[in-house]
Every structure is written in structure tokens, then in C-alpha cells.
Amino acid sequence: MNMATQKIKITSEKFDINLKFYFFLKHLVKSKLTPNQISKTLEIYKVNETASWQITVEKIQQQITQLGGQRKQNDYAEVIEHIHNQDDLELFIFSLRLYAIKDLLLSEAKLKTITIAERLASLPPLSLEYDKLSVMTPYSARVNGALLALVFFEKLAAGQSDFMSQEVEDFLKSLSISAVNLVGKGIEPNQIFMLMFNESINQSIISNSGSNYEERIFSVLTEKMGLRKEEIECNVHDKTDASTEYDFRFKLQDNRSYGIGAKRTLRERYKQFIKTAHASDIDVMITVTIGLDLTEYKAITIRENGVYIFVADEVYKNNHYLQKQQGVFPTSELTETILLSLK
């Protein structure tokens, strides 16, 4: 049969063991065991290694009442109740060891987000470089986590345990032995672990995507220009044309009103300001944008209708038609002095 016409088939045995593996991992995360509680369970397993699986499970069940809160006891008890044979016990212990190592990998994954945050702190918040980097930030921990997990399980499968600190080497040796054994029974440790691991990453990482462009402009208005937060109206509609919304509206010392529309990309939205510009009660109308889609035609049209434009410095410097157009500025010049000079 041609490979293109072959149907993908997963045996029920392979599906069942991986489903139980995920179930164990998922409920271990819910149980929120402490390192001491994990160690106690592993100690019970080690001491009773030559005993029957039933005796080992009974010993582990006796530990449940010492776990603290009722919810934790119930979550952990639900895991133990699904150990029905020796294979299940080995799978549970493997899951428990992976759960123990999860936070270490999670910390490594989140480190990428921290290093990116440090780079962002050194960049102008309205620059193109800042924008590109901030858009990628939410995905950095997820991608780094996936790559770390891939390398981690590759090394486990190869029986390598010397890639982390000496303190965890013995722990990883036993984990590696279990991994090799369970892979032979159909377990897919990397894929199933990543289901649980991604959930943990998603819960622990606060999204900082490009959607916070408005927040960055707000920080420029308050931190760079010195406006008080209470002096800035946010997300307000034009009094004359309700179809036009200003992301920010405020007054400066000249008592004139300023309205800012903040969009990373303009698309067709710039036409709203053009329509409103002639009838609005706002004295100075401004569009702040990254500027990647700000064509010469759009720039001329916006300016002909009295709306001022601020674009990312990199875009401004790379496009001569923006530099020669009066009323178009790089975002580094979004200052009170420049705003006061606008007529």
C-alpha cells in the first residue's frame, strides 16, 4: 500500500498507557505535592521494591492522610486509586519523578522570558526593535520549554544523567532507566509530558504581546512627558463624531486638547481620523504607529487632513518620504516640547 494512502493507526494498548500516563501527571500537578512529600513516596517505593505492588500501594495510601489539606488528599488519592498492577505502579513512579523535575525545567524555560525582559528594558518602548521583541516574548518560554524537554528526554533515552548538577545525577539515572523501560512498552514521554508542561507554562507566564502597544504609549506620556495619570482620558469617543475613538485624550499647559489614536498597524483605520479631523473639537489630532504599513500615499493623505503622525524611529530613518513630509515625526520626539509646537 502506498504510504500516502496508509491510515494513521495507534493501537489501543499504546493509547491506553499514554492516557494513563497523562492522567497521572495531570493529577500530580493538581495535588501540588511538596518536595518532602515526593521524597517520602519515592522512599516508600524503594523500601518496598521487592514486595508486591499491592503492599507498596497500601503503604503509599497510608501516607495520604499526612498530606495536609483535604483537597490535596483527594487529588492524590485519585491518582493512587488508578494503580491496578505492577506496570501502573512503575508508570506512577515515573510520573512522580517527572513531576519532581518539572519545576526545574519550568524555571529554565522562564529564564528565556526574563532575559528578553532585560533586553526590552534597555530599548525605547515605541521602537520597532522593542515591538518585534515584545511580540515574541509570550512564545519564548513555550518554545524554550519545548526544546528543553526535547533535549531532556533525548538524554534520558540515551542513558545520560550528567547534564545537570551533581545533586540530581543519581535521581536522573533512575529516571533514565525507567524512561528506557517504559518507552519499550509504548510510552511517549516527551509528547505526553509536554501536554502537562505547556499547561504549567501557560499558567505561569503573563502574556506581554504586541497588544500592549497602547500601554507603552501611556508610559511615554506619564513617565517621559510627566503627565499625571488622572490627566489622561483613555479610550474615549470624539464628542462630535462618536465613530472615532481616541486611545488617549489630554490637555497640556497651553490648555489645548490633544487626541491620540494608537495602532501598531494602520490598515484602513487611519480614515476614521481623516473623517473626524475637520469637525472634531480636538485641537491637535495625532496618530502613533509603528509605521510598517505607512505608505507615502497614506502619510500624505493623513497630513493633508491635519492629523500629525509619529512612527518608530527605525521606520522614520529608513523612509525618505516620511522625513520630507512635514508633520511626521519619529516616536523619540513624542515630547511635550514637540506637542506644544504643533499648530
pLDDT tens sequence across 292-320? 889 999 999 889 888 999 999 999 999 99
Give the tens place of pLDDT for each residue, 30-72. Answer: 888 888 888 888 888 889 888 899 999 888 888 877 766 777 7
Contacts of 294 (CB under 8 A, 6+ apart): 266, 309, 311, 315, 319, 322
Helix axes 12-31, 189-204, angle to 10 degrees: 30
C-alpha cell at 19: 492516557
Residue type for position 55: I
Q: Which residue has the higher pLDDT, 1 or 150?
A: 150
**Pair 286, 260: CB distance under 8 Å:** yes
Burial of 47 (0-12, 13-18, 19+ CB in 10 A): exposed
Q: What are phi and psi of 227, to 5 degrees?
A: -70, 145
To the question of pTM greater than 0.85 for the whole model, the response is no
How far, in Å, CA of 283 to CA of 77, rounded?
A: 67
Whether residue 267 is predicted with pLDDT greater than 70 in this model: the reply is yes
How far, in Å, CA of 261 to CA of 270, rounded?
A: 9
The per-residue pLDDT for 66 is 72
Whether residue 170 is predicted with pLDDT greater than 60 in this model: the reply is no
Mean pLDDT for all residues in the chain: 81
The per-residue pLDDT for 273 is 62
C-alpha cell at 56: 507498596
Indicate the SS3 state at residue 96: helix
b/e burial code for range 152-190 (CB count within 10 A of at least 16 → b): bbebbeeeebeeeeeeeeeebeebbebbeebeeeebbbb
161-183 average pLDDT score: 64
- Spell out the domains of the chain, with CATH numbers in brackets: 12-204 (no CATH), 212-341 (3.40.91.80)
Indicate the SS3 state at residue 329: strand
Q: Which residue has the higher pLDDT, 43 or 73?
A: 43
Whether residue 211 is predicted with pLDDT greater than 60 in this model: the reply is no
How far, in Å, CA of 277 to CA of 241, rounded?
A: 9
Q: Which of 108-117, 243-252, 317-326 has the highest mean pLDDT?
A: 317-326
Residue of 272, 279, 285, 265 whose CA lies nearest to 244 = 272
Contacts of 23 (CB under 8 A, 6+ apart): 79, 82
The per-residue pLDDT for 310 is 96
- Within 10 Å of residue 74's Cβ, how many Cβ atoms? 14
The per-residue pLDDT for 325 is 94
The per-residue pLDDT for 312 is 94
Q: What are phi and psi of 310, to 5 degrees?
A: -120, 125
How far, in Å, CA of 338 to CA of 220, rounded?
A: 14
Q: What percent of the chain stands above pLDDT 70? A: 83
Residue type for position 73: Q
